[in-house]
Amino acid sequence: STLLKDDGCNGNGDDVTTKQLLRLALHRRTVQILSTNDPVLSQRRALRVRALVDFIWSQSLVLGLKDSPDNDANPTLAQLVDKHRLQSTSSPGYTEFSPGFHHATIEGITVDYGPVHINILRIDMKQSSCRMKCIDARDTCTDLPTLAKQMGAIAAISGGFFLYSEPDIELPSKRTDPVGLLVSDGTSVGPPVFRRSTILQRKGENGCRDIGLDKVGMEGVTCTFTFKSTNNKSTEHTMKLIVGQDKVQCIHRGNAEEVMIEENHYGLSIIGSTVVPRKLASSSTVMPVPLAGFVFVFPQSLFPNEIDLIDDDLTIGVTYELPRPYNNVENAIAGGPMFFSDHCENGCPSMDLPSEDFKGSAPPVTFSQDETHDHNLLPRMGVGIAKSGDDEQLVCVAVDGRNLDRALGLTLQGTSDLLRSLGCQKAMNLDGGSSKRMVIWDPNLEMHKVVCLSTTEIKANAGENKGGSGQATAEPSRPVHSAILFVPGDEK
């Protein structure tokens, strides 16, 4: 093959190099992807080619590092953490930029991941009295430093997954819609469609706020439906059903792409707080399952008799109430997967993506249909909880990537190992890639600054992505669609 000929090589087996084999793999796999006749896979050609390029790029860099004669002298990433004693904020590697808020940067060449550039935010929850605020940033401001300033936050990170690369985004869903649970100041903005790891904060009876990482799904969620008719505005009916009781169930894309409504049952197609018009189906009807929503199936006997189903002017609304112990959650945002948990009741010693509904065509498909099996080095965002006695710290890591000179990125497993090496007993993944962002308050510059490196050319914005230098640049960045803000004290 001409693809194995390079720099005068004649292409025989003895002369084939790693670079040539990777080039051949890229070519052949790209041809396979582009020539598929599968109707589902053909919709995802661009996404699959992008994942392939990331994979080949990652492998070429890792294999190239292993071939370097100087690589054995480099530390592992865990050894680099140990060297700087970053398990504790007493390390000189941390800077306390506000009471209880500490920042550090890991930078260097590692034997396992090459060059790394990782920002760490450690928050002492008791000392800082930190209040976490999760928001749909599209409703306010998608520029994270500006958003942090507006909300009185001392630090902020990008949030959970959103619709982006999926080929079948249909109205009323839109590109950049949040995926999964989102609770903002006690209001459920998005239901926990998928049972996934969630960072959440509750307010206890004594007024103290505790932070947690738990898997939260639709089981036990109370769904309250409101039925109104424009023909009779004075009449309003409600129906309150609990998922998992009285044969009430939710079918999402991790289960199937369509569902047959059983005999004597109804089905509603729901996306967020919207019941898709004219989608109430009766027995023996096949319903498509919405991409980031679900089909709500329940017995017809539970439906209010006084409601006229053939009323063309009937509108249906829905609200959600989380079950105990999540009914007092103030703010929460889903991500996943859970990296690990030392608490036996969670049964999560390591990652298990299918158990968190990263399967089928559930978004993001880059996780549910990952053909590389977690071998891509990418920008990552992870959070963990480190406890020592009565002290509890929230640890956030923003892993830079796609930067040949300073940061290749990490795998999910690599991010999990990083949080473990930082002393966490429980940790989970948030949305990474080009959307990953961390912002902290700089008391010297008296401004909020992005400490991450730039990873994509999407949006130019002076002052972002300077990698901790504090100098304003016009380097590009992608807007943040959901965000987690950390507000000190009792500020609102």
Confidence at 14, pLDDT banded by 50, 70, 90: low
Measured in residues, the chain has a length of 492
Spacing of C-alpha 105 from chain mean position: 22
Q: What does the alpha-carbon distance between residue 199 and residue 263 come to, in Å, rounded to a whole number?
A: 39
Q: Write down the residue that tokens 């936050």 correspond to.
A: 153
Structure confidence at residue 477 (pLDDT): 60
The answer, yes or no, to whether residue 271 has pLDDT greater than 90, is yes
Structure confidence at residue 72 (pLDDT): 75
Contact 480, 437 (CB under 8 A): yes
pLDDT tens-digit readout, 15-61: 567 778 888 888 899 999 899 888 878 878 888 888 888 888 878 87
Q: Which range among 35-39, 207-211, 440-444, 480-484 shows the weakest confidence by mean pLDDT? A: 207-211
> Which of 53-62, 225-234, 249-258 ranks highest by mean pLDDT?
249-258
| Structural tokens at position 174 | 């839109």
Average pLDDT, the chain: 86
Confidence at 137, pLDDT banded by 50, 70, 90: very high
> Which of 133-137, 171-175, 387-391 ranks highest by mean pLDDT?
133-137
In this prediction, residues 211-222 reach a mean pLDDT of 96
**Burial bucket for residue 23 (CB in 10 Å: 0-12, 13-18, 19+):** middle
Structure confidence at residue 313 (pLDDT): 75
Contact 421, 436 (CB under 8 A): no
Return the higher-pLDDT residue of 212 and 141. 212
Backbone angles phi, psi at 20, to 5 degrees: -70, -40
Q: Write down the residue that tokens 């898997």 correspond to.
A: 215
How many Cβ atoms are within 10 Å of 190's Cβ, its own excluded? 25
| Structural tokens at position 325 | 């112990």
Structure confidence at residue 169 (pLDDT): 87
Q: Write down the residue that tokens 């497993």 correspond to.
A: 413
CA–CA distances in Å: residue 234 to residues 231, 305, 311, 370: 9, 17, 15, 51
Structure confidence at residue 243 (pLDDT): 97
**Exposure on the CB side of residue 148, measured as CA atoms within 13 A:** 25
In this prediction, residues 59-82 reach a mean pLDDT of 82
In the chain, what percentage of residues exceed pLDDT 70? 87
Structure confidence at residue 1 (pLDDT): 46
Q: Which range among 13-27, 41-55, 144-158, 463-477 shows the weakest confidence by mean pLDDT? A: 463-477
Confidence at 87, pLDDT banded by 50, 70, 90: very high
Provide the whole-model pTM: 0.89
Structure confidence at residue 120 (pLDDT): 98
| Structural tokens at position 227 | 């039925």
Strand order in the sheet with 182-184: 187-190, 182-184, 329-334, 196-203, 209-216
How many Cβ atoms are within 10 Å of 307's Cβ, its own excluded? 16
What is the identity of the amino acid at 460?
A
Backbone angles phi, psi at 361, to 5 degrees: -110, 25
pLDDT tens-digit readout, 442-455: 999 999 999 998 76
Q: Write down the residue that tokens 């929460």 correspond to.
A: 332
The answer, yes or no, to whether residue 469 has pLDDT greater than 70, is no
In this prediction, residues 304-316 reach a mean pLDDT of 76
Structure confidence at residue 474 (pLDDT): 42
Structure confidence at residue 492 (pLDDT): 45
The answer, yes or no, to whether residue 460 has pLDDT greater than 50, is no
Structure confidence at residue 40 (pLDDT): 74
Structure confidence at residue 461 (pLDDT): 41
